[in-house]
Amino acid sequence: MVADFSSFILGSSITIFASASLCLNIAVLWTLWRHKFLTNQHDGIFILAFANMSGNAFALFVYGAYLGPMAITQSYLFSSLYPFPKFIGAAWHVQWYQDMLLMAFTAINRWIVVVKPPYLPVFTRTHTMFFIIFAYSAGIFITILATYVLPCCMLYFEYVSMSFAYFVDGPNDTDHFLDYPVNVTCMTVAVLCYIRIYFFVRSSNIKIMSNLPKSAAENRKAKETKYAFQFAACTFCVIGFSEYEL
């Protein structure tokens, strides 16, 4: 594809939306930090949110500063895929792995908080911090295997599809043995946890609504529906993006 007006519009849109989202992420991160939501006085879910959004902020920076300009110019912005495009792809790969692991861990955390409160002491602040460190460390380790150890195939950003792709020069070991198992496992855990939460809350609300006035019951039902759609939208966005590759 040759750089033209359509590639300029699409690339500019990526950069603008990614930059705007990055600013929002930074604003939320600053709020969590400034108002001391990360201290012992608050729930550990804020630490998880901070760790997750920090990774997302990095990914948004890559989209805005690299993927957008790459789409505009219809080039890799460098003379070859080595070393910078390869390194950028590897850095994004680290973020993706930790995002998947933290997504599953957060879902398990919410499941225990809502459905299994007796097990809540398991999620101490120390254990939460340990898992966050584990998620980032595992992301780095798996990415080193995927990019520099396995014979095929490294991940990079592709300007034609305006997404990530694999540089395939043989059997795609990275996707078959690393990416696919991690993605499927983490997304399955998250989906199952949220489905269980939804049905548990729905069952509890049915019992509560039987003792509420009709107007209050209808309002509560509307909120349930809204939360269900929000969950479905977020889940399918993650699943859809993970499957959008060359």
For residues 30 and 165, the model is more confident at 30
Mean pLDDT over 120-145 rounds to: 90
Mean per-residue pLDDT over the chain, rounded: 83
- Bridge partners of residue 150, in order along the sequence: none
CA–CA dist 24, 183 (Å, integer): 26
Q: Tell me the residue range of the domain where 117 lies.
A: 5-243
Residue identified by tokens 């199952």 is: 192
Mean pLDDT over 216-236 rounds to: 56
What pLDDT is attached to residue 70?
93
Helices (H) and strands (E) in the chain, counts: 8, 2
pTM of the model: 0.82
| pLDDT tens digits, 159-205 | 888 888 888 777 888 888 999 999 999 989 988 988 888 888 778 76
| pLDDT tens digits, 96-112 | 999 999 989 988 888 88
Identify the CATH number of the domain in which residue 190 sits: 1.20.1070.10
What pLDDT is attached to residue 197?
82
Phi, psi of 74 (to 5 degrees): 55, 50
How many domains is the chain built from?
1
244 pLDDT higher than 50: no
What pLDDT is attached to residue 196?
86
